[in-house]
Structure 1
Amino acid sequence: MAWVYLGIAGLFECCWAIGLKYTEGFSKPVPSILTVAAMGISFWLLALAMKTIPVGTAYAIWTGIGAVGVAILGMFLFNESRDILRILCLLLIVCGIVGLKLVSSSPAAS
């Protein structure tokens, strides 16, 4: 279950990171409230995952999911660069996330 928590925490990290753009410096109430709520959920799920997943693995995967997710969302929502080298770099991050999952010594890994 810890890996499920971690995956969902990573998705909520994407939500709050993208939400920061929409808050316009926390000057818009609704996006600000939703962003802060997503932050809380993300951190809470990350903390639950860290009960069994090693901290370095959990944090690296959480930030990796967020980095890749936000970069992809930025391409679609904000018309950010879709350069092939950028996409290849994102694929390297995905390979790192998968690799960390595969070599994790967590009891929850099996």
Structure 2
Amino acid sequence: MDPMALIVAMSIPSAFTGFCFWMLQKHLEKREKRQDEKEAAREKNEILMVKSIGAAIALGEATAEAVSRIPDAHCNGDMHAALEYARKIKHEQKDFFVEQSVHEIY
């Protein structure tokens, strides 16, 4: 076998293998990009959920405070207990986020 035929015979499988690895790498890059996009969307969704929960608690607190100021409204202990519970949960959530942010920093 002459050297040129040997070089050609060795380079064809190497080129094919290189091409296959290149295709595989491109496929993995596309998959990783899609995964990153999904992760960003999930993170944004969670942020919006937390904000929505905060808004709902704020609205509930404002409503309970307004109703308790009406002289003819006979507020029972349930509303006051619910208001205290909402405030307690709001503070627990805030404390949790502070704790998580400290863990993320360190």
Name the TM-score class by shorter chain.
0.3 to 0.5
TM-score normalised by L of structure 2: 0.43
| Structure possessing the higher relative contact order (Cα contacts under 8 Å, 6 or more residues apart) | 1
> Which of the two has greater helix per residue?
2
The structure having more radius of gyration, on CA atoms, is 2
